[in-house]
Amino acid sequence: MEPVLSINGISKSYGQIKALKNLSLSVPKGSVFGILGPNGSGKTTMMSIILDILKADSGDYNWFGKPNLPEERKRIGSLLETPNFYHYLSAVDNLKITQAISGRGHAADIDEALEIVKLTERKKSKFSAYSLGMKQRLAIGAALLGNPEVLLLDEPTNGLDPVGIAEIRDLIKLLAKKGITIIIASHLLDEVEKICSHVAILKRGTLLTSGPVDEVLSNEDIVEIASANMEQLKDCVIQMGGYLSIKEDNQRLQIHYPIGTANMEAINSYCFNKGVTLQLLLSKKKSLETKFFELTND
């Protein structure tokens, strides 16, 4: 299947600072694609280039398998920063102005967008009366005008409280179910792990890894075990062997094995035969946060 977006060797510098270094990646159709990286990693620069706001120094990109043309751009909705809505106008009137300026969609799209972002009941309320979460949802509603096939969101939950973050997370899941391809730049690792199907991790303009979230995380098997005698348990695990590393944390051992080699039944049997009864035995997937810090820490 042709990817929605292909980035081919893009580089961008600001004077001596190299914001992007020969970046290449593909975004599959229908994916929720997370672009992760610390501040200064190049996330916003990348988003600005593929939206034709900035020009790359070298390299190119294709939307829908074609060069970046105005007609292809109309198939893309974006939220790079909160639009300058008028505080004294209602949601409906603000979206009418947005639509008139952008030329995207028809009058009926406004009601549909407000319904999707769950602001129909407050559509006549002034923007100034909205919570931060509601303001951000309205901004996403503006990006949905014209029924785009792709939605780009730069830090969509920035500054929101836990309720607002949950609302945006649920909204992104809803939009993904509708078949919209969503590209999200974010530093909130836990949120990305909950909603993204694919992820790319950037550091100082360089792509460290990219692919389906499960594949990015699945380079090790992790098993957590505990018993009444932790020292005896640790000796037992060392004797059994086959592991990459052992970490002791909060009265439990976390054992890292090469991918596909952890055998829970064998671990239980070996310990039992050595006179160690396990009080805890569970398989644990590495968190995206753990992977992120492993890759981005010097």
Q: Is the pTM of this model over 0.85?
A: no
DSSP state of 271: H
∠ CA 41-46-52, rounded to 5°: 155
CA neighbor of 2 nearest in space, from 33, 23, 28: 28
Three-state SS at 59: strand
pLDDT at 254: 86
pLDDT at 68: 67
pLDDT, one tens digit per residue, over 87-122 is 999 999 999 998 888 777 777 789 999 999 999 999
pLDDT at 40: 81
Tell me the DSSP string of 83-94. ----TTSBHHHH
Same fold: 1-75+149-165+174-216 with 218-296: no
Q: Count CB atoms within 10 A of the CB of residue 185.
A: 25
Taking 70 as the pLDDT cut, the residues of the chain under it are 1, 68-70, 82, 217-219, 285-289, 294-296, 298
Distances (CA, A) of 162 to 33, 132, 165, 188: 22, 11, 5, 12
- Residue 188 to residue 204: CA distance in whole angstroms: 18
- Residue 66 to residue 47: CA distance in whole angstroms: 18
- Residue 169 to residue 196: CA distance in whole angstroms: 10
- Residue 230 to residue 255: CA distance in whole angstroms: 13
Three-state SS at 6: strand
Question: What are the residue boundaries of the structural domains of the chain, listed by start?
Answer: 1-75+149-165+174-216, 84-148, 218-296
SS3 per residue for 106-166: CHHHHHHHHHHCCCHHHCCCEHHHCCHHHHHHHHHHHHCCCCCCEEEEECCCCCCCHHHHH
pLDDT, one tens digit per residue, over 221-243 is 888 899 988 889 899 999 999 88
Distances (CA, A) of 241 to 176, 231, 248, 249, 267: 44, 16, 16, 19, 10
In one letter, which amino acid is 160?
A: L
CATH number of 218-296, picked from 1.20.1630.10, 2.60.120.620, 3.30.70.980, 3.40.50.1820: 3.30.70.980
CATH superfamily of 1-75+149-165+174-216: P-loop containing nucleotide triphosphate hydrolases (3.40.50.300)
pLDDT at 213: 84
pLDDT at 251: 85
pLDDT at 261: 85
Q: How many residues does the chain have?
A: 298
